[in-house]
């Protein structure tokens, strides 16, 4: 039995998408038993996440599916034809991240330091000039430029 597991969601293939799942709950079901966990962090740059469960998850859970509890932060509906004359609304993937902490290198503390500079979301970050923002933060222009580029790429997806 393991309390911590690595999980890969089919639609999550980048750090920015995986980052917005941190703090969300996941459930693995076995018959009537439910094993509830919380996404606690990222594992690598390919969208793998780490989930910590309240009780240890049995070994037979490996390779099976978990359920993500609740709705995602921002989902754009897409019309998809199901049958003649009928239309079904489904969630579009990818999901655009809104939290600053979804950007690699920006944690909770850094996000708090960015707010007085006028950066409260990924969208705000993408619209900033890296040189001006690095001056306000008294930080490296190279690092800030990486954040801005990642924010722009995240919004393109």
What pLDDT, in 10s, does the model give residues 136-157?
Answer: 998 899 999 999 998 888 777 5
53-71 pLDDT, tens per residue? 888 888 777 777 788 776 4
- Residue pair 34/57 in contact (Cβ under 8 Å)? The answer is no
DSSP E strand stretches across the chain: 2-7, 25-30, 33-42, 49-57, 67-68, 77-83, 86-91
Query: Which pTM value belongs to this model?
Result: 0.45
Please, where in the chain does CATH 1.10.150.20 lie?
100-156
Q: To which residue do tokens 């038993």 refer?
A: 33
Class of domain 100-156: mainly alpha
Class of domain 2-68: mainly beta
């Amino acid at each position: 039995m393991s309390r911590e597991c690595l999980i890969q969601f089919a639609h999550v293939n980048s750090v920015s998408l995986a980052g917005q799942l941190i703090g969300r709950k996941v459930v693995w079901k076995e018959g009537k038993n439910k094993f509830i966990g919380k996404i606690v962090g990222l594992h690598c740059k390919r969208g793998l996440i780490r989930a910590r469960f309240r009780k240890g998850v049995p070994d037979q859970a490996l390779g099976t599916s978990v359920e993500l509890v609740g709705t995602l932060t921002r989902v754009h509906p897409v019309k998809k034809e199901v049958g003649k004359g009928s239309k079904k609304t489904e969630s579009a993937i990818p999901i655009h991240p809104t939290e600053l902490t979804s950007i690699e290198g920006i944690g909770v503390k850094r996000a708090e330091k960015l707010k007085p500079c006028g950066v409260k979301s990924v969208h705000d970050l993408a619209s900033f000039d890296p040189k001006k923002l690095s001056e306000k933060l008294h930080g490296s222009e190279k690092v800030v430029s990486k954040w801005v580029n990642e924010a722009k790429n995240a919004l393109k997806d």
